[in-house]
A and B are shown apart, each in its own frame.
Chain A
Amino acid sequence: MNKYEPVIGLEVHVELQTASKIFCHSSTTFGGDPNHHVCPVCLGLPGTLPVLNRKVVEAAIMIGLALNCSVARFCKFDRKHYFYPDLPKNYQISQYDLPIADNGYLEVQDEDGNPVRVGITRVHMEEDAGKLVHQGTDATTPYSLVDYNRTGVPLLEIVSEPDMRSPREARAYLDKLKTIIQYTGVSDCRMEEGSLRCDANISVRLRGSQTLGTKTEIKNMNSFRALQKAVQFEINRQIECLETGRRIVQETRAWDEIEGVTLATRSKEEAHDYRYFPEPDLVPIVISPSWIEEITRQLPELPDARCRRFIDEYRIPAYDAGVLTGSRELGDYYEECVKIYPQAKTVSNWVMGELLRLLNDTNSEIGESRVTPRQLAEMLTLIDKGTISGKLAKEVFGEMFRTGKDAEMVVKEKGLEQISDEVSINAVIEQVIASHPGPVADYRAGKDRALGFLVGQIMKDTRGKANPGLVNELLKNRLR
């Protein structure tokens, strides 16, 4: 299907981790009893007035800066009108023609590892809507339940340019966006809790064409995997449409995770007449250069810059640096460990290898690791001192991961200290030689491979605890 080129743009909604909602003092805490975190303002009761949470503006400026946008000197809120029970006021307070930030970009890697710049059209602030629960079917439950706890939780909507050309690129963009936002700390970006939500605009065109094809909007993708699969499905569907001479209809389609297809949603043409007008209940926002400077100073080192620094400062491969800076916490963990145990590549191997593997196996995150960076550093020191062998170290680390105990304690409790005294090793060597005359004769006859067998037997008899280097050396001397 190389004849066609997919064109993909993403609209991402991010819930900000403020304590209170965007326009009132109700809590933003996720979950809880239905309709508990509400007040007259977020319920849209008559006579109430919204007042903007300053922290939301600061978070929006920070994200604008992190995404290389220009931050508006002047912006305002607008009302977006539509009737839906998740919206108690019958309008959503959003930003229309003067968003807080626009014209930015972020960088991802294409299939060949080359950097691709994805433009950010705009970033704007708005309030989240409530949650509708539909149980059963139209026939069994002819009603929906409404919970307004989420109503008024601050959102940033981040709209990309149609700059992505494959499902993989779309996923890479969302991944990068999530990482950048998590670094700034303004949102936890949990897709499963809905604090990061993503819609995709997709069209296809003949390769080389400069005009855009008719697009569809895909909703309801609840994971990174779903995004990639849904985008791929929709591209294939559109290409098949064109190949069989049918027309692509501009419409909203929902991703059906179970069936693995996108389906047209019931929608009326009128539904998109939002009748925006300036929100008269909120005054404009003027952002001074000094305010922007203040927030620029608070901006943490971002993933790309940190990745470059890891390569320069720790001399680790670009791949390692990319993985380690994939989350702020993982990068912090790595750096703390290297501070104590400065062999950067060794630390990288252990963090990317054993630690990430065990975290993955237990479905937990780096912040939940019971092994602290100091404990990992201490274990690595034990390997260097010869107290434990590199091979047994994995067993020690596994135990540390399960129990949170220090390496030294695990080694003692499990009796895993490496045997490095020659007398003990020689004793085992004598036993092994006595019980394996065949291989001994083979080795003496010049078959070097027989030595490996004998070393293996010695390691087995010492339950892997004998210092392998020493075993090799002593055995060779003994058989000379």
Chain B
Amino acid sequence: MLSREVVDHVALLARLELSEEEKERYTTQLSNILSYAERLQELDTGDVTPMAHVLPLQNVFRHDVVGEHLPSEDTLANAPDRQGNNFKVPRII
């Protein structure tokens, strides 16, 4: 069973504000999800190389060439707030 501390921690990392009732519910749900996934531990993966990607592809590159930039009005269209061409956000240092 997942501890409440872990749920609090994960909620904080994800910047989620949860009510007591939600924390209760998610503790149970997350525990169930984890124990379901834990069934994979039964497999012997001793001889399996860790997978870095699901597709059998490697070395996909682009050339170092500059292309078009987004017009400023489009860039800032969804900004919560702006000052000139800067995004404006609550003060964070």
Best-surrounded residue of A25, A266, A273 (most CB of chain B within 10 A): A25
Chain A residues whose CB sits within 8 angstroms of the CB of B85 once the complex forms: 33-36
Known contacts A35-B72, A39-B69, A270-B13: does B91 contact A138 (CB below 8 Å)? Answer: yes
Alpha-carbon gap, A273 to B81, bound state (A): 29
In which size bucket is the chain B interface? 35 or more
Cβ of A412 < 8 Å from any Cβ of B?
A: no
For the complex, give the distance between the alpha carbons of A285 and B57 in Å: 9
Indicate if the CB atoms of B70 and A40 lie closer than 8 Å: yes
A interface footprint on B69-93 (CB within 8 Å = 1, 0 otherwise): 1101001100001011111111111
Closest A residue to B15 by CB, please name it: A83
A54 closest partner in B (C-beta): B61
The answer to whether B64 and A144 touch across the interface, beta carbons within 8 angstroms, is no
Using CB atoms, name the residue of chain B closest to A57.
B61
Cross-chain contact B92 with A37 (CB below 8 angstroms): no
* A81 to B9 CA separation, bound complex (whole angstroms): 14
Q: Which of A19, A132, A148, A275 contacts B92 (CB 8 A)?
A: A132
Min CB distance A130 to B, Å, is: 9
Q: Mark A276-295 against chain B: 1 for CB-CB distance below 8 A, else 0.
A: 00101011111000000000
Query: Counting CB contacts under 8 A, is B43 at the interface?
Result: no
Is residue A68 within 8 Å, beta carbon to beta carbon, of the partner chain? no
Residues of A within 8 A of B92 (CB): 84-85, 132, 144
Known contacts: A34-B85, A278-B52. The answer to whether A26 contacts B91 by CB under 8 A is no
The 0/1 profile, CB within 8 Å of B marked 1, for residues 21-59 of chain A is 000111100000111111110010000000111110100
Instruction: Report yes or no: A284 in contact with B86, Cβ–Cβ below 8 A.
Output: no
CA distance A51 to B67 in the complex (A): 13
Check A39–B70 contact: CB distance below 8 A. yes
Contact A52 to B68, CB < 8 A, known contacts A144-B90, A283-B55: no
How far is B80's CA from A173's CA once the two chains are assembled, in angstroms?
A: 44
Across the interface, A280 reaches (CB within 8 A) one of B53, B59, B62, B69, namely B53
B90: chain A residues at CB < 8 Å are 142-144
Can you list, as one digit per residue, whether each of A160-171 has a CB less than 8 Å from chain B (1) or not (0)?
000000000000
Closest to A18 in B: B64
- Cβ contacts under 8 Å, A54 to chain B: 61-64
Binary B-proximity of A1-33 (CB < 8 A = 1, otherwise 0):
000000000000000001110001111000001
B60 at the interface (CB under 8 A from A): yes
Question: Are A26 and B66 in contact, with the CB atoms below 8 A?
Answer: yes
Q: Is there an interface contact between A35 and B75, defined as CB atoms closer than 8 Å?
A: yes
Complexed CA–CA distance, A115 and B52 (Å): 40
Interfacial chain B residues near A270, Cβ < 8 Å: 9, 12-13
Contact A55 B64 (CB under 8 A): yes
- Distance (Å) between the CB of B54 and the closest chain A CB? 7
Task: Please determine whether B86 and A134 come into contact, CB atoms closer than 8 angstroms.
Answer: no
Interface centre among B65, B86, B92 (most CB of A within 10 A): B86
User: In whole angstroms, what is the CA distance A136 to B65 when docked?
Assistant: 39
Q: Is the CB of A145 within 8 A of B88?
A: yes
Question: Which residues between 150 and 191 of chain A lie within 8 Å of chain B, taking CB atoms?
Answer: none
Among residues of A, the one whose C-beta sits closest to the C-beta of B62 is: A51
Further 13 A-B residue pairs, CB within 8 A, beyond A35-B75, A145-B83: A25-B66, A26-B66, A33-B85, A39-B70, A51-B60, A53-B61, A55-B63, A57-B61, A134-B93, A145-B87, A145-B88, A146-B86, A148-B87
Would you list 17 pairs from A and B whose C-beta atoms are within 8 A, ordered by A residue?
A19-B64, A19-B65, A25-B65, A25-B66, A35-B76, A35-B85, A83-B15, A98-B52, A134-B93, A143-B91, A144-B88, A144-B90, A146-B86, A146-B87, A148-B75, A283-B53, A285-B59
> Considering the complex of A and B, which 5 residue pairs feature the smallest CB-CB distances, nearest first?
A25-B67, A54-B61, A145-B86, A146-B87, A55-B64
